[in-house]
Chain A
Amino acid sequence: MTVAIAPLEAPRSRILRLAAAGVTPVLAVVLAIIVGGFVVLASGSNPITAYQQMLVGAVGSPFDISETFISSIPLILAAYAVSFAFRCGLFNIGAEGQLYMGAIASTWVATTLSDWPGLPLIIACIVAAMAAGGAWAGIAGWLKAKTGAHEVITTMMLSYVAIDISHWLLEAGPMTPANAFGTPESGPIPPTAAFPVIVPSWILPNARLNASLFLTILAGLVFAWILWRTPLGYEIRAVGFNAKAAAYGGINVARRLVIAMVIAGAFAGLAGMVPVWTQMRLYDSFSPGYGYEAIAVALVGKNSAIGIFLAGLLYGAMIHGSVAMQANANISGFLVQILQALVLFFVGAEMLIRWMLKRGGLRAIAEASA
């Protein structure tokens, strides 16, 4: 099946295009909020209170802003994994498994090399996460290049395998030191390997937001740089746009497929490492489905570095904001998932939004965002 992605860009009116590209997702969010409001109303609650609580809960205090970022980071990184593959015409539906492999590898390094000094240790863990995620995704890429095996099937299957492997490692023992309750968890990540907290304690004591935020921003920059500033990225995008034409143009499609998957997997590996580092330990079933939610984030972010970052923040805000909604306004947290779905749906229904823009006399924006 064809995966529709943005075409290779002409340099003309780049700024206008970028600005206009942001209009449709914003309008989509607005539409989603409106429709979501009706759902809240139908369930007997007050939409104004609901959204107010969600907003305050997401960004109303330094604690909340910090936690919103923490909720967003794994989604953003995993979305880069999904998106990078999309750029090569590949549907990386198995980012979940790749992030598990990254989590396992980085934890293993941290607990095994625990007497290393801080900076080399954390770098080793990051490299291990990226390598493990990249290798796991690379298997799917290689299988596609070699045998034509469709990546939807292979990445999905490998994802389940990775999760089963993690269960085995943590429950049947190889990665679990004996502990008081026999809990399926790894040994602790040594404090020397922790990301430094970046929020000064005079703003927020006991803050949890750490340098993984910078890592994520760096990941976004690398994402954009590879795709838009390197020959490799150009070729990857060419393959994504039209693999046959790319092959005619002399590009080694098979190689590009594999490399694209490996790089995508590396992003996913990081997405696995960060939540483990938040808890300073690898627990059984630690991921709530980041790799799966990341598909929505990647699509809402339109496969662009900035778009994904913002979309990830939006979803993270919805997730953390829902906590206040539940605690203070007695409103069902399932609403969040419905909202997330609505945002995705309206982002996809671009035609609808463009039609609305045209009707509203904003033809130029409508056309520029096409």
Chain B
Amino acid sequence: MDLVNLFVTVFTRPDLWAGTLRFAAPLTLAALGGVISERSGVVNIAMEGMMLVGAFFAVLVAAATHDIVLATLASVVCGGLIATFHGVASIHLRANQIVSGMAINLLALGLTSFLMFRFYATSGTPSDIPALPDINIPVVNSIPFVGAVIGDQNIIVWVAILAVPATWFFLFRTRLGLRIRAVGEHPRAADTLGVSVFQIRYLCVILSGLLSGLGGAYLALSVAHSFSDNMTSGAGFIALAAMIFGKWHPVGAFLACLLFGFGQSLGINLQGTGFPDQLVAATPYVLTVVALAGFVGRATAPAADGVPYEVGE
């Protein structure tokens, strides 16, 4: 199959682009959470753990109540709870934030696997749980190419897309957002101006937990419709990379997630075309490195990112 032909066939396939959005959605939610947290000065590498916890409790509550709203709420709240642990450790206990984040990832993995086994042994989670609905847009759906790409995406995909400008607006056009950024760059100055550094940081860490939890709910209730051990499989870490790639900016992080999602989707669509499948699977990673090295360059974190704040010293 000659390359030009291949190129055309693959790139005109709507599923390539639809898949990009599907992959990018959970990554975007977690990455936006990371952006918010780190903009306030708290390093957050625990997205993986928060997503996993969100996924598990989404399924647990969905199975118990058969109510999709409650299940989604549960996942969001649990993500926030886990984030609170990270907050307490990082903000009040002034722990090394990398350590705290890693500990949460490990804890989440062990805990969810433990509880999964406890509640569902080896039979797996029940299959009659409700799912987050797809949004079928009748008019758009009939547009030839575009319809297949966006006409029938899951509600969370839309939430993730809309969360990007919302986060941008929140961080850059509201007073609270200004405070957050101030706390992340010059906490001492913000403190002297009466901004409560601790409160702002807690707020942001918890927000990141809520968003990651929602990302986990998407994976469990829309994509997989079940929970299995370690089902996030590194998605939280990819979101972390996307956040850095996007230079801690919501739009940049989103674009990075799209790039990665595109790479994964491309990898899937190149299967069976003559290239070895295992190497084709590396497409998103290679693409990311090339884009980063070639076009994006240096990324600078907020100045006070990762530095615990000591009140009144």
Contacts and interface: CB of A to CB of B under 8 A. Distances in A.
Report A-B touching, CB under 8 Å: yes
Interface string B264-301: 00000000000010110110011011001110111101
Contacts of A338: 107, 110-111, 114
Interface residues of B, number: 50
B153 interface: no
B241 A156 contact: yes
Nearest to A159: B285
Given A149-B293, A172-B278, A299 B117 contact: no
Interface in A334-358: 334-338, 340-342, 344-345, 347-352
Interface of B is mostly: helix
B278 A171 contact: yes
A351 B114 contact: no
A157 B98 contact: no
B113 interface: yes
B100 A345 contact: yes
Contacts of B245: 150, 153
A160 B285 contact: yes
A1 B297 contact: no
Contacts of B102: 295-296, 299, 344
Contacts of A157: 241, 285-286, 288-289
Interface of A: 1-4, 43, 91, 93, 143, 146-150, 152-154, 156-158, 160-161, 164-165, 167-168, 171-172, 295-296, 299, 332, 334-338, 340-342, 344-345, 347-352
B282 A156 contact: no
A337 B113 contact: yes
Interface in B45-88: none
Contacts of A296: 102-103, 106
A171 B280 CA distance: 14
Contact of A1 (B100, B118, B237, B305): B305
A326 B43 CA distance: 37
B255 interface: no
18 contacts: A2-B301, A148-B297, A149-B296, A156-B237, A161-B286, A164-B279, A165-B278, A165-B282, A172-B276, A172-B278, A299-B102, A335-B114, A338-B110, A338-B114, A344-B106, A345-B99, A345-B104, A352-B95
B140 interface: no
Contacts of B43: 1-2
A332 B241 CA distance: 33
Contacts of A347: 99
A314 B104 CA distance: 19
B106 A43 contact: no
B306 interface: yes
Contacts of B305: 1-2
A148 B296 CA distance: 9
B181 to A, nearest CB: 16
A316 to B, nearest CB: 16
A337 B289 contact: no
Nearest to A142: B293
B301 A344 contact: no
Interface of A is mostly: helix
B205 interface: no
B202 to A, nearest CB: 17
Contacts of A153: 241, 244-245, 288-289, 292
Contacts of A146: 293
B96 interface: yes
A341 B100 contact: no
B251 interface: no
B94 interface: yes
A149 B100 CA distance: 25
Given A338-B114, A350-B95, 5 more contacts: A3-B98, A341-B105, A344-B103, A348-B89, A352-B93
B24 to A, nearest CB: 16
A301 to B, nearest CB: 12
Contacts of B38: 1
A347 B288 CA distance: 34
A223 B294 CA distance: 33
B109 interface: yes
A3 B306 contact: yes
Contacts of A143: 289, 292-293
A146 B245 CA distance: 16
A157 B293 CA distance: 12
Contact of A148 (B109, B111, B298, B306): B298
Interface in B225-246: 237-238, 240-241, 244-245
A41 to B, nearest CB: 14
Contacts of A154: 289, 292-293
Contacts of A148: 297-299
Contact of A332 (B100, B117, B297): B117
Contact of B113 (A4, A161, A334, A342): A334
Contact of A344 (B99, B278, B299): B99
B307 interface: yes
Most buried by A among B98, B105, B240, B279: B98
A181 B99 CA distance: 44
Contacts of B292: 143, 147, 149-150, 153-154
A206 B248 CA distance: 54
A188 to B, nearest CB: 23
B99 A168 contact: no
A341 B114 CA distance: 13
5 A-B pairs closest in CB distance: A148-B298, A348-B99, A337-B110, A341-B106, A345-B103
A93 B102 CA distance: 11
